[in-house]
A and B are shown apart, each in its own frame.
Chain A
Amino acid sequence: MDYLGLFNYWVFIVLMMCGFYMLLSARNLVKKVIGLNLFQTSVFVFYISTGKVDGGAVPIATDGVDVYSNPLPHVLILTAIVVGVASTALGLALILRIKDEYGSIEEDEVDLQDALS
Chain B
Amino acid sequence: MEKTSSNLLWHGVLLAVLLSFGYSIVLASQSIEYNWRWERVVPYLVNMEPKSAVAPFDGVAKVSADGLSVVVTSDNGEPDRAYQEFSHLIVGDGDLVFEGDVIVTREDWRMGPIMNGLVVTLKISIVSLFFAVIIGLFVGLARISSNPLLKHLSLLYVEIVRGTPLLVQIFIFYFFIGTVLGLDRFTAGAAALSIFAAAYVAEIIRSGIQSIPAGQMEAARSLGMNYSKAMIHIILPQAFKRTLPPMAGQFINLIKDSSLVSVISITDLTKAGREVVSGTFAPFEVWFTVALLYLVLTGTLSWMVKLLEKRLATSD
The answer to whether A and B come from one shared complex is: no
Residues of A within 8 A of B (CB): none
